[in-house]
Amino acid sequence: MLNPYLISLTNAYFGPLRGMTFIIILPGQITNATCENHLPEKVFSKVYRTTGMSTRFIKMPWRLVLDLERAPPVITDWDSAESYVLKSLKEGVDSGDPFYFRKFIF
């Protein structure tokens, strides 16, 4: 059975990073540790070097989907999740707004 999860790249102080939330549909149960183990360290390193914020993936409550700035994409594998995070990172940098990722908009 496939299970959908709302996943967000999150900083301990600022909370979820803007544009770094997605829905992933996978078989079985996943935990926060599962998320961390499936994405390469280079993703977290690139986010840290670009934003100056340490992050981790966290499963978020489903009710937050209704309050997001834009609908999160639906992703079906971890490789696509990696691509989405790196694309969102580039989008934030290209915006020219130094606070782009700190403005998690509900």
pTM exceeds 0.95: no
pLDDT digits (tens, 9 = 90+) for 89-105: 999 889 888 788 876 55
Better-predicted residue by pLDDT, 32 or 55: 55
Statement: residue 71 has pLDDT above 70: yes
- Per-residue pLDDT at 106: 44
Contact 15, 9 (CB under 8 A): no
> What CA–CA distance (Å, rounded) separates 7 from 57?
6
Q: Is 30 left (phi over 0), alpha (psi -120 to 50) or beta?
A: beta
- Per-residue pLDDT at 96: 85
